[in-house]
A and B are shown apart, each in its own frame.
Chain A
Amino acid sequence: MTNAPRARAKCEISFTVNGKPETVRAHPMARLLDVLRFDLGLTGTKEGCGEGECGSCSVLLDGALVNSCLIPALQATGTHILTIEGLAQDARAQLLQQSFLDCGGAQCGICTPGMILAAHHLLHKKSQPTLDEIREGLSGNLCRCTGYMQIFEAVADAASRGAST
């Protein structure tokens, strides 16, 4: 048995991204984050820390919020992935995006895609979250610019707009 590195072949990995079936040729241990960004050109998902702490790489995988920097591409086989680009068609997500704009939820914008995915995930589970629930729901997404409050306001704002539609 040896652990000596040898070049391994890429393989074909198929999954659905933003509603569209995709097949990529990638190493099975390529990070899902890198496959999305570089193989599929979906650069909306960001890398902030590479260790699952900052949440900038958040995507929805089969409806669950996950950090794509910690997922090997092979494990995404057959899954449905939603990135920030995929939210463009989603009415509730559009409310969220508008709320982020109106409330100052995005400053430098680098955490924003991940935040919006996390908020989208939260509102899907709880359409009228309390402030504490919003705080907790977003606690895996770090923001250095806003101090979070206007992000919470944006989520609460989107929740209340969603309730009245």
Chain B
Amino acid sequence: MKTSSIVGTSVPRQEGRAKVTGQARYVDDITLPNMLHGATVRSRIPRGKIKTITFASSINWNEFTIVTAADIPGKNCITLIEDDQPCLADKIINHPEEPILLLAHPDRHLLPKAVEAVHIEYDSLPAIFTLEESERQAQQIWGVDNIFKTYLIEKGDPDAAFQNADHIVEAEYTTGAQEQLYIENNGMIAAFDAQQGLTVWGSMQCPYYIHKALIKLFALPADRVRVVQVETGGAFGGKEEYPSMIAAHAALLAQKSGKPVKIVYDRLEDMAATTKRHPSRTRHRTAVTKDGKILGGEIDFTIDGGAYKTLSPVVLSRGAIHAGGAYYWPSIRIRAKAVATNAPPQGAFRGFGAPQSLFALERHMDRIAQVVGLSPEEIRRRNFLQPGQTTTTSQTVNEQIDLNKLLDRALELSDHKSKKEQFAAQNQLSTTRKKGIGLATFLHGAGFTGSGERYLGSIVGVEACSDGILRILVSSTEFGQGTNTVLCQIVAEALGIRYEDVAIAQPDTHEVPNSGPTVASRTVMVVGKLVQSAAAGIKKTLTAAGLLEDSYSPEQFRAACRAYVTQHGKLSSLAQYEQPNDIVWDEEKYQGSAYAAFAWAVYVAEVTVDLTTYTATVDDFVALQEIGKVLHPVLAKGQIIGGVAQGIGFALYEKVVWDQGRMQNGQMTNYIMPTSADLPNIRVYFEELGNVHGAFGAKGIGELPMDGPAPAIINAIEDALHVPFNSIPLLPEDIFAALEKREVREVVLSSARGRE
């Protein structure tokens, strides 16, 4: 057995060399013989009915393949939680950019003009664009009440808490839409063969989601639909649902034309038409004692899901469950709802509801601190969850997490105390620059919520190749976060073999079982643990066959695999998820163990606000988190830094400008993501408490870093300016408007005083 560890070491990225040499092949790098290019004709109105469709005579339509809803063999829907989202709009339009018609042609350059030459007349209907309009049902656009889903989480007696409170602190917080902005736009290639059926290759997170959607759309049996993931250039949740739509479109064109079809979006289309982070509004009403202890509260959490249900219920669920954060709530009532508006459906984006509700909570904690007269650190200390206490869903904290110590360490790493004093002094002296420091303390649950993992019933496989290399078979995809690398590490470590002797199969639904979607920070923790089991199964088979001793070298293991395959033809081992007995969840009451494991974090942000330009810049950032076990230091650090960068964008830069449900700033010039010149040194630190439910003690970390930056930064800005901001993104224009208002108010007040 090897004594040096592979898990815990930064081994080479499995597909790294291909990436740094430009050899990695993404969907738009792939060309098939006779391939056509596809394009989508989309709605120009937010809501209404299609009246007529005419094809202008300036185009030679004979050269084009044209697909409408009538061409759909099965059910015209992109199946997800519900079947309400059509693949192609037939008569009814519910959002701008809704796909209506598809075109294909051998020359991709002819498509933009052809799309413009399809003239559609509509009978418009009144549309709604805000969460508020939807709530008060200014129009009924979905179901009977515009509500996709509601949840109610209750614990204890919040009404009694309000009776007994010394302070009741109320406020409202909002977050805007955010575009995932993966640098590789969405794309798919589809080919249809009469015998073999349908094959789709593309940029995606969840091959089996696409598989499920195509089966229903084409009314094909499962084995006649094949979905293959190719190298994917970033996803962040933005390629969880929408790829099913694009795959469907490419497939329909492929079926109709008899040729392979590639659809690749350009940036403008990708931004305008695909999913974004759900805008949110959270209302807090909290009962607090004069010593700053939370007695209870009410949280009203509402998200805007766009025109169709898609994944909104799950985003809502996660947001609602995280709404109480890392604190002990003796009582609470969380009312959550997801509502419909006439915008393109919103969807998954790293964090998936938690960044929204945690922004509100972490801002609210600072507000509570002010009301009670304590520091932001102290208010948190007095309310941190302790081991043995229960969360808002009454889940008992089973691990020895010490949030006070975590906070201590973060404060020290960020030099918090001396900086706070220093800034207070400096701010007195400067009228042009104000500095501030702020923090956020939070948690993030890994894996699917509640019974989610049980419903998924993920299956993984490990098989031996004839040369003795082990190959991991999962539908979990690599899109930069390190799936390939970490899963191979886990197998190598579990078996005591070399990392180089483990490979991972390309996710191809013909070749790999359904290990569930690559989302929810579940890959390392849940799938990794299954892969660990499957690997153990291989060893067990070899040992039972007398080919392996109890103690062996990597070479011996490899030889044993080769021998077994030679003798028996095939060596493989499957493992399927079983819900551990200690994870019990009540779907009705929405109570119990929401997640198998939580990662915990304290983030500290230091900002400067330039009062000449009202620009806030993050100067320093400390990200400290407890994540079970660091399986790959470089990858783990990269995940945190990347997530923090996106969180900084969420807080200060990334605004989606809407007009009548359409994104107006859908280019990289006008949708502002931070460049290298905008980000500070992001300092990352880890702690490891282990995790019995995760491979080698790991917890999920992909989404955690998205939750903390925005509230820490806005808290820091309030520290700098003594003006509260409750809405993100917070742009210089917003800071200016607030300061101008304060100035006006002060002038009015002082002139009023002057008159007295």
Binding site for B on A (CB under 8 A): 37-38, 43-51, 53-54, 56, 83-85, 87-88, 97, 100-113, 116, 135-136, 138-152
Task: Please state if B677 and A135 are interface contacts (CB–CB under 8 Å).
Answer: yes
Contacting residue for A142 out of B24, B266, B668, CB 8 A: B668
Given contacts A104-B13, A147-B642, 10 further A-B contacts (CB under 8 A): A44-B21, A53-B667, A87-B21, A108-B479, A108-B480, A109-B233, A111-B233, A144-B236, A148-B676, A150-B641
Q: How far is the CA of A45 from the CA of B485 in the complex (A)?
A: 25
Check A150 against B183 for contact (C-beta < 8 Å). Answer: no
Evaluate contact between B480 and A149: CB separation under 8 angstroms. no
Listed by A's residue number, 29 A-B pairs whose Cβ atoms lie within 8 Å are A43-B25, A43-B29, A45-B22, A46-B26, A47-B28, A49-B667, A53-B668, A53-B669, A56-B183, A88-B21, A100-B20, A101-B13, A104-B10, A105-B20, A106-B20, A107-B482, A107-B638, A108-B182, A108-B232, A108-B480, A109-B19, A110-B182, A110-B233, A112-B20, A144-B181, A147-B638, A147-B644, A149-B679, A150-B637
Docked pose: A37 CA to B22 CA in angstroms:
12
A145 touches B668 (CB 8 A): no
- Chain B interface mostly helix, strand, loop or mixed? loop
Known A-B contacts A107-B638, A111-B183; A48 and B267 likewise in contact (beta carbons under 8 Å) = yes
Q: Report A-chain residues with C-beta under 8 Å of the C-beta of B646.
A: 144, 147
- Contact between chains at A101 and B233 (CB < 8 Å): no
Q: Does B393 contact A (CB under 8 A)?
A: no
B185 contacts A by Cβ under 8 Å: yes
Asked whether A107 lies within 8 Å of B20 as measured between CB atoms, the reply is no
Task: Tell me, yes or no, whether B184 is within 8 Å of chain A by CB.
Answer: yes
Flag if A54 contacts B668 (CB, 8 Å): yes
B16 pairs with A106, CB closer than 8 A: yes
Asked if B681 is at the interface (CB within 8 A of a chain A CB), the reply is yes
- Contact between A84 and B182, CB atoms less than 8 A apart: no
Determine the chain B residues whose CB is within 8 A of the CB of A107 once the complex forms.
234, 480-482, 638, 642
Interfacial chain A residues near B234, Cβ < 8 Å: 107-108, 110, 144-145
Q: What string of 1s and 0s marks CB contacts (under 8 Å) between B705-740 and chain A? A: 000000000000000000000000000000000000
For B10, B635, B675, the residue with the greatest tally of chain A CB atoms inside 10 Å of its CB is B675
Task: Please determine whether B21 and A145 come into contact, CB atoms closer than 8 angstroms.
Answer: no
- Chain A neighbourhood of B25, CB < 8 A: 43
Inside 8 A of B246's CB, which chain A residues have their CB? Answer: none
Asked if residues B679 and A109 are in contact (CB atoms below 8 Å), the reply is no
B544 to chain A, nearest CB (A): 39
**What sequence of 0s and 1s flags, for each residue 1-28 of chain B, a beta carbon within 8 Å of any chain A beta carbon?**
0000000001011011111111111101
Any A CB within 8 A of the CB of B440: no
Residue of B nearest to A154 (CB): B20
Question: Which B residue sits closest to A146, measured CB to CB?
Answer: B642
Q: What are the residues of chain B within 8 A of A106 when measuring CB–CB? A: 13, 16, 19-20
Q: How far is the CA of A37 from the CA of B24 in the complex (A)?
A: 13
Main secondary structure of the interface of A (DSSP, over half): loop
B304 in the interface (beta carbon within 8 A): no
Docked pose: A38 CA to B30 CA in angstroms: 10
Chain B residues with CB below 8 A from A143, complex form: 183, 676
Scoring B21, B182, B232, B668 by chain A CB atoms within 10 A of each residue's CB, the highest score goes to: B21
- Given the known inter-chain contacts A83-B22, A84-B22, A103-B634, please indicate yes or no for A147 contacting B682, CB distance below 8 A: yes
- Whole-angstrom distance between the alpha carbons of A135 and B12 in the complex? 25
Interface core residue of A50, A107, A109 (most chain B CB under 10 Å): A109
Instruction: From B180, B182, B668, name the one whose CB has the most chain A CB atoms within 10 angstroms.
Output: B668
Query: A45-B22, A108-B183, A108-B233 in contact; A147/B634 too (CB < 8 A)?
Result: no
In the bound assembly, the distance between CA atoms of A104 and B643 in angstroms comes to: 15
The residue that B676 contacts in the complex, of A44, A56, A152, with Cβ under 8 A, is A152
Separation of A141 and B28 alpha carbons in the complex (Å): 20
Interface residues of B in 207-237 (CB under 8 A from A): 231-236
| Min CB gap B33→A, angstroms | 14
Contact B645 A147, beta carbon cutoff 8 Å:
yes
Task: Report if B673 contacts A (CB, 8 A).
Answer: yes
Given A135-B676, A146-B641, A147-B641, CB of A110 within 8 Å of CB of B26: yes
Which residues from chain B contact A113 at a C-beta distance below 8 Å?
22
- In the complex the two chains form, what is the Cα distance from A140 to B677 in whole Å? 9
Which residues of chain B come closer than 8 Å to A110, judged between CB atoms? 26, 182-184, 233-234
Q: Give Cα A84 to B493, complex, Å.
A: 34
- B639-664 vs A, CB cutoff 8 Å, 1 = contact: the mask equals 00111111000000000000000000
- Tell me, in angstroms, the Cα distance from A25 to B482 when the chains sit together: 41
The CB with the most chain A CB atoms within 10 A, among B19, B646, B669, is that of B19
Given contacts A84-B22, A107-B481, A107-B642, contact A48 B16 (CB under 8 A): no
Q: Chain A residues near B18 (CB, 8 Å)? A: 109
Question: Which of B28, B180, B231, B667 has a CB less than 8 Å from the CB of A109?
Answer: B231
Contact between A101 and B20, CB atoms less than 8 A apart: yes
- Closest approach, in angstroms, between the C-beta of B584 and any C-beta of chain A? 36
B375 to chain A, nearest CB (A): 29
Q: In the complex, A41→B609 CA distance in Å? A: 48
Known A-B contacts A48-B185, A49-B668, A139-B675; A109 and B642 likewise in contact (beta carbons under 8 Å): no
A51–B21 alpha-carbon span in the complex (Å):
24
Q: Assuming A46-B184, A101-B12, A108-B182, is B20 touching A116 (CB within 8 A)?
A: yes
Contact residues in A for B29 (Cβ distance below 8 Å): 37, 43
Contacts of B634 in A (CB 8 A): 102-104, 150
